Amino acid sequence: MAEGAACATIEGFAAALASNSPTPGGGSAAAAAVALGAALVGMSAQLTLARKRFKSVHAEMERIVARTDAIRAEALALIEADSDAYAGLLAAYRLPRAPEAARVEAIATAALAASRVPAAVGELALDVIELAGAAVAKANPHVRCDAAAGAALARGAMRICEMNIAANIGSVADEAARVELERSCERFRSGLARADAAAERVLSELHA
């Protein structure tokens, strides 16, 4: 897609966000934030692996690197997936109002698709926060701030995901899907405190 090419650089992505097109939007920005957050947490682990004096936690750091690499790839793919899903929802809303039943069904299907992408992004954000907590506790003290920064980015992304799900869930007809989306939002809210705890731990150490 042309949009994908435009978003290939940070400068291009920011310009695309600032354009008069509805996509990419907040959901894509959330996915990008998760990718950046994962990258920071991974960096903190990499820089811990580089020092022999942290050998006792190298296995944990290797786990963090492997998972954050995977999260980063998944989140980057979801940047465009979110744009595509939202474009599908807009197309459904633009369908002729007659026959009404067909239009309502199309909107319900598109709303579910547009909700599932932020749900996936939010789950990745939760993973970043969990990994950041481990890095803040065990990584090289000189890079723990970067790990906490990764958690902060993931925290912001989760709030965006919760808002986007809330914006679309009213049009989702599948009751089981609605329940699962609501549970996702509950998990996101429970993750906020863990993200804050990572930042507070780093700040308390810096102020000590």
Q: Say how far apart CA 23 and CA 161 lie, in whole Å.
A: 15
Q: Say how far apart CA 136 and CA 147 lie, in whole Å.
A: 6
* pLDDT tens by residue, 23-50: 999 999 999 999 999 999 999 999 999 9
Q: What is the CATH number of the domain that holds 25?
A: 1.20.120.680
Q: What is the mean pLDDT of the chain?
A: 95
Q: What is the separation, in whole angstroms, between the first and last Cα of the chain?
A: 50
Three-class secondary structure assignment of the chain: CHHHHHCCCHHHHHHHHCCCCCCCCHHHHHHHHHHHHHHHHHHHHHHHHCCHHHHHHHHHHHHHHHHHHHHHHHHHHHHHHHHHHHHHHHHHHCCCCCCHHHHHHHHHHHHHHHHHHHHHHHHHHHHHHHHHHHHHHHCCHHHHHHHHHHHHHHHHHHHHHHHHHHHHHHHCCCHHHHHHHHHHHHHHHHHHHHHHHHHHHHHHHHHC
Q: Say how far apart CA 179 and CA 177 lie, in whole Å.
A: 5
Instruction: Provide the 10 A C-beta neighbour count for residue 132.
Output: 35
* pLDDT tens by residue, 79-88: 999 999 999 9
CB contact set of 57 (below 8 Å; sequence gap of 6+): 48, 138, 139
User: Which residue range(s) make up the domain with 179?
Assistant: 2-207
Among 196, 186, 175, 164, which residue's Cα sits nearest to residue 27? Answer: 164
Instruction: Provide the 10 A C-beta neighbour count for residue 152.
Output: 20
Task: Decide if pLDDT at 2 tops 80.
Answer: no
pTM metric for this prediction: 0.93
Predicted local distance difference test score (pLDDT) of residue 133 = 96
Residues of the chain with pLDDT > 90: what percent?
Answer: 93
Region 93-100 average pLDDT: 94
Number of domains in the chain: 1
Predicted local distance difference test score (pLDDT) of residue 3 = 58
Cα 126 to chain centroid distance, Å, stands at 8
